[in-house]
Amino acid sequence: MKNWKKLAAVLLSGAMLAVTGGCAGGTSSSTAEPVPQTEAETAEAAADTEAMTEEDATAAAESDGETITVTDHLGNVVEVPKEIDRIVVGNIYPLPSVLTIFFDSGEKIVGMADVSMKAAQNGLLGELYPEVLGAETGFISGT
């Protein structure tokens, strides 16, 4: 029995050495030369940078008011208030507890998924921040 254990240990050590030794090979030099960019590619990159700068300037100008306009990757434009007073968390289950701890209060959370509410009721979150237990859960099911 002892011999089998020693043999297994030696074989395992050898296998681990072989696996890690293969990854630690010598340096390889790459002789690939950079591909020169055409004038069209350079102009396109400059136009993209200019467009991004204009978007940033527009966003900065709009952020001076009471609302902020946000455009997502799909092109949807949403206007949100600068000061957020209430938060509804959808099906991201641990997020209500993370936000409650981040804000050190559950007062801003006015809605959460039913699973998150059950976790808050049965866990420490409801004991530490009882105001989070007043959040609505019916918006998920449409009630």
Q: Which of residues 89 and 18 earns the better pLDDT score?
A: 89
The answer to whether residue 101 sits within a structural domain is yes
The answer to whether residue 12 sits within a structural domain is no
Q: What is the DSSP letter of 32?
A: P
Domain that includes residue 117, residue range? 87-134
Tell me: the pLDDT tens digits for 78-134? 999 999 899 999 888 899 999 999 999 999 999 999 999 999 999 999 999 999 999
The answer to whether residue 23 sits within a structural domain is no
| Long-range CB contacts (within 8 A, 24+) of 40-47 | none
Number of domains present in the structure of the chain:
1
Looking only at the bridges linking them, the beta strands covering 77-81 and 67-71 are antiparallel
Question: What is the reported pTM?
Answer: 0.49
**80, 103 Cβ separation under 8 angstroms:** no
Residue type at position 16: M
- pLDDT score at 136: 93
The answer to whether residue 18 sits within a structural domain is no
The answer to whether residue 42 sits within a structural domain is no
Tell me: the pLDDT tens digits for 19-34? 666 655 555 555 555 5
